[in-house]
């Protein structure tokens, strides 16, 4: 009976070592992927000169991201932007009526055309720093399209920054690893120099006029209704397994323990090891003849 | 003195014959246990990080339990074919009827313990912290669940001696019982037979009365197996 246990442990250890070898040979084993296509809710956005800066939190789409505490596993995020000439920005605008002071909320869909994606970067923050210092800045910037400096200050508190790589099709892609105590924030930089804003009723306005009208409080965004950006985005969150040295040591120890159990059984019973292999060989030989 | 000697001889025969069953008569019992142990590592690797520390871990336990149930089925059907074939040779002398039946049970339980040990050690290889999420009651529920199925299949093998009946029994216990869990009253009774399902209904822990009920049921099935071995095996 000891050898049965020994074989079982050896089999588990061999499988463990095989998987670890495969994972170490490649750049890790990817598992449990989940995807988001199409649109993203923005955490904060700002306009300055001809530049638009839009931030989004990937963990808003993947709440379990970075929550695994199992050794050797890390959460990873692939962000890919393609074909960004036409971007739809959905806004809930607050429109006070001057005649009476009752405030009405009108939902206005605004289309931003000819925007050019200039850069894509993703940042990671220590969870504590993010909660105490970054989130308050983002909250302040969420309802203010001119809070460019606030957003830049928030990004300046990042622990690491990964810049997107431009692909030949004109898009950008970035891969980010998110640890247990880490929060990710991605920033999209747009060039709005040749852009124009189209309202639901077909009215066209240059972006500077549109944002100036926001500033003049004729219409304002609301922090409780964040802008929704529809563009060709693919977000992919997955777990990446890379074996640690301790895992390899533990697998080798398991293999040794299994071998000891089999050897012990062989010593106690006197029957040769791997009898089932002889039986298997006999069956195969019989089938061959 | 004589009695102790007899007991030792019986234990030695039981150990020798159950080893023979596990490696030779049981067909692929050893190979199947080793393959399932290897698969258990894969289950742990791919499922344990999901919703850590709980939901993925329960999936690992359930998949391994289903895997073991297939081993138990193949073991019991090997016993049926042995009873129809060479069992008479062993049953004439020096093997007693009860030792013959118990040897099959020991072989099945040994492969169950081997699979469960491989599962636990796979958890330890990946992350020793995962072992802490597996409570004693859940481990006992897994072991009792598998042991009850083994006892039930061996009793069916001795009683009816038909592989088709074994397959029906296995399917009824493995999947049919699950349907009864939709009724709350039936679930409370059936969970004694499938204590692992108690993990689902009690949110990650199994009640002590359920485990005690399962132990009593296992003892009753063991007594039935003993009686069947004495009554149904010809010498």
The pLDDT score that the predictor gives to residue A123 is 94
Find chain B residues with C-beta within 8 A of A71's C-beta. 126-127, 129
> How far apart, in whole angstroms, are the C-alpha atoms of residue A151 and residue A44?
8
| pLDDT beyond 80 at B203 | no
Residue of B nearest to A269 (CA): B16
The pLDDT score that the predictor gives to residue B99 is 82
> How far apart, in whole angstroms, are the C-alpha atoms of residue A134 and residue A126?
10
Q: Who wins on pLDDT, B120 or A181?
A: B120
Q: Who wins on pLDDT, A215 or B26?
A: A215
Confidence band of A112 (pLDDT split at 50, 70, 90): confident
What DSSP element (H or E) covers A189? strand A182-191
The HSE-up count of residue A224 (CA atoms within 13 Å, CB side) is 2
| pLDDT beyond 60 at B137 | yes
The one-character DSSP state at A99 is: S
User: What are the structural domain ranges in chain A?
Assistant: 2-8+244-288, 29-241
Nearest CB partner across the interface for A1, out of B40, B110, B126? B110
Distant-in-sequence, close-in-space partners of B44: CB < 8 Å, separation ≥ 6: B60, B119, B122, B123, B126, B130
> How far apart, in whole angstroms, are the C-alpha atoms of residue B125 and residue A20?
11
- The reply to whether residue A64 touches residue B51, judged by beta carbons under 8 angstroms, is yes
The pLDDT score that the predictor gives to residue B209 is 83
> How far apart, in whole angstroms, are the C-alpha atoms of residue B43 and residue A19?
12
For the residues B28-46, what does the mean pLDDT come to? 83
Residues in chain B: 235
Mean pLDDT check: name the lowest of A50-64, A96-110, A236-250, B42-56.
A96-110
User: Is A171 strand, coil or helix?
Assistant: coil
B106 touching chain A per CB within 8 A: yes
Distant-in-sequence, close-in-space partners of B47: CB < 8 Å, separation ≥ 6: B56, B57, B59, B60, B63
C-alpha torsion sign, points A197, A202, A203, A204: positive
**Residue of A12, A63, A67, A246 for testing the chain B interface, max B β-carbons within 10 Å:** A12
- The reply to whether residue B41 touches residue A250, judged by beta carbons under 8 angstroms, is no
- The reply to whether residue A31 touches residue B46, judged by beta carbons under 8 angstroms, is yes
Residue of A nearest to B16 (CA): A269
A251 touching chain B per CB within 8 A: yes
A246 touching chain B per CB within 8 A: no
- The reply to whether residue B38 touches residue A1, judged by beta carbons under 8 angstroms, is no
| pLDDT beyond 60 at A34 | yes
Tell me the residue range of the domain where B75 lies: 2-232
User: What tokens appear for B141 in the block?
Assistant: 């529920």
> How far apart, in whole angstroms, are the C-alpha atoms of residue B61 and residue A99?
68
Residue in A127, A119, A113 with CA at minimum distance from that of residue A57: A127
Report pLDDT digits (tens) over B64-119: 888 999 888 988 888 888 887 766 666 666 677 888 888 888 888 988 998 999 88
How many C-beta atoms lie closer than 10 Å to residue B167's C-beta? 14
CB pairs under 8 A between A and B: 119
Give how far B153 is from chain A: nearest CA, Å: 21
B18 touching chain A per CB within 8 A: yes
Nearest CB partner across the interface for B126, out of A11, A32, A71? A71
Q: For the complex shown, is ipTM > 0.90? A: no
Question: Residue written as tokens 């093998």?
Answer: B157
How many C-beta atoms lie closer than 10 Å to residue B164's C-beta? 10
User: Per DSSP, what are the bridge partners of residue A161?
Assistant: A123
- The reply to whether residue A9 touches residue B37, judged by beta carbons under 8 angstroms, is yes
Nearest CB partner across the interface for A8, out of B19, B118, B129? B118
Report pLDDT digits (tens) over A44-92: 888 888 888 999 988 888 887 877 778 888 888 898 887 666 677 776 6
Q: What dihedral do alpha carbons B194, B128, A253, A66 form, nearest 10°? A: 110
Give how far B191 is from chain A: nearest CA, Å: 29
Nearest CB partner across the interface for B38, out of A12, A64, A247? A12
> How far apart, in whole angstroms, are the C-alpha atoms of residue B131 and residue B120?
7
Q: Please tell me the total count of domains within chain B.
A: 1
User: What tokens appear for A264 in the block?
Assistant: 């012990």
**B 110-149 → A contacts, CB under 8 A:** 110-111, 113-115, 117-119, 121-122, 124-130
């Amino acid at each position: 009976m000891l050898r049965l246990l020994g074989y079982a442990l050896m089999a588990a250890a061999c499988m463990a070592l095989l998987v670890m070898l495969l994972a170490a040979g490649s750049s890790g084993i990817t598992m449990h992927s989940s995807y988001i296509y199409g649109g993203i809710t923005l955490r904060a956005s700002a306009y300055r000169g001809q530049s638009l800066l839009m931030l989004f939190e990937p963990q808003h789409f993947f709440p379990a991201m970075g929550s695994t505490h199992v050794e050797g596993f890390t959460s990873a995020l692939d962000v890919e932007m393609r074909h960004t000439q036409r971007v739809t920005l959905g806004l809930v605008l607050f429109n006070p009526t001057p005649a009476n002071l009752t405030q009405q909320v009108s939902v206005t869909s605004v289309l931003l055309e000819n925007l050019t994606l200039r850069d894509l970067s993703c940042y990671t923050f220590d969870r504590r720093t993010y909660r105490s210092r970054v989130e308050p800045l983002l909250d302040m910037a969420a309802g203010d399209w001119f809070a460019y400096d606030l957003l830049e200050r928030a990004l300046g508190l990042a622990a690491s920054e990964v810049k997107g790589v431009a692909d030949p099709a004109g898009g950008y892609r970035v891969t980010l690893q998110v640890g247990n105590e880490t929060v990710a924030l991605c920033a999209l930089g747009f060039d709005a120099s040749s852009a124009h804003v189209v309202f639901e009723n077909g009215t066209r306005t240059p972006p500077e006029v549109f944002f100036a009208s926001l500033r003049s409080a004729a219409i304002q965004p609301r922090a409780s209704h964040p802008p929704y950006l529809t563009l060709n985005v693919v977000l992919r969150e997955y777990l990446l397994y890379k074996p640690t040295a301790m895992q390899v040591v533990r697998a080798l120890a398991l293999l040794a323990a299994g071998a000891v159990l089999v050897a012990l059984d062989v010593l106690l019973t006197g029957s040769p090891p791997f009898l089932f292999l002889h039986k298997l060989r006999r069956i195969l030989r019989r089938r061959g003849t | 003195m004589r009695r102790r000697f007899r007991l030792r001889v019986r234990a030695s025969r039981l150990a020798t014959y159950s080893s023979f069953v596990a490696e030779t008569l049981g067909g692929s019992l050893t190979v199947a246990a080793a393959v399932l142990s290897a698969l258990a590592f894969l289950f742990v690797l791919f499922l344990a990080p999901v919703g850590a520390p709980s939901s993925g871990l329960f999936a690992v336990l359930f998949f391994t339990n289903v895997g073991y149930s297939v081993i138990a089925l193949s073991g019991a059907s090997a016993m049926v074919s042995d009873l129809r074939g060479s069992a008479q040779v062993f049953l004439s002398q020096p093997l007693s009827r009860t030792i013959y039946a118990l040897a099959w049970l020991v072989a099945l339980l040994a492969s169950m313990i081997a699979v469960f040990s491989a599962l636990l050690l796979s958890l330890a290889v990946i992350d020793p912290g995962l072992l802490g999420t597996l409570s004693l009651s859940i481990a006992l529920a897994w072991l009792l669940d598998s042991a009850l199925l083994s006892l039930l299949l061996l009793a069916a093998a001795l009683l009816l001696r038909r592989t088709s009946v074994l397959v029906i029994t296995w399917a009824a216990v493995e999947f049919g019982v699950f349907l009864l869990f939709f009724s709350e009253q039936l679930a409370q009774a059936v969970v004694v037979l499938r204590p692992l399902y108690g993990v689902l209904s009690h949110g990650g822990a199994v009640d002590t009365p359920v485990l005690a009920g399962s132990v009593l049921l296992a003892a009753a099935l063991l007594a039935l197996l003993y009686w069947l071995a004495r009554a149904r095996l010809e010498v």
